[in-house]
Amino acid sequence: MTLKDYLTKLKIGLPKTNVHLDKQVYEAGSVINGTIEITGGLLKNKIKRYDIDLVGIDSQAFVEETLNSHSVFCSLECSPNQTGKITFLLDVPYEIQTNQNTCQYSLMINIDLGNANNITQNVPIMIGAVS
């Protein structure tokens, strides 16, 4: 087993992600405008695909539901110690529940690097009533 295979298996040196959103609170029917900032790890990687899901969790009914999803197949280089950005737009459905006491929302970010390596990030967001 090579050093690269060993580090990859242990998930050491994988790229790091940071998600930036344009607002702190979104309304039903609005658009989430965001950026995924990816900083390369120790080894060169290639991003094969990324998925962004808007997920709602109803804590009273113990139900998790994907409300909107965006997937992109790609072939982006991720070089060591370099930073790249992926911008995205995701619609918040008009018919979403805005009761923050029982429903919690988040963006689930999954970046597929191939070879069974994924980077996942859960970004909580707030969705308020339309004013």
Q: What is the CATH number of the domain that holds 33?
A: 2.60.40.640
**Model confidence band, residue 42 (pLDDT cutoffs 50, 70, 90):** confident
The first and second tokens of residue 94, run together, are: 């008009």
Q: Higher model confidence: residue 126 or residue 4? A: 126
- Tell me the whole-structure pTM to 2 decimals: 0.81
Alpha helices (H) along the chain? 3-9
Please give the tally of structural domains in the chain: 1
Q: Higher model confidence: residue 1 or residue 82? A: 82
Give the whole-angstrom CA distance, residue 113 versus residue 70. Answer: 17
The parent domain of residue 73 ranges over 3-128
Give the whole-angstrom CA distance, residue 62 versus residue 52. Answer: 22
Alpha helices (H) along 10-129? none
Say if residues 92 and 23 touch (Cβ distance below 8 Å).
no
Say if residues 92 and 26 touch (Cβ distance below 8 Å).
yes
**Model confidence band, residue 51 (pLDDT cutoffs 50, 70, 90):** very high
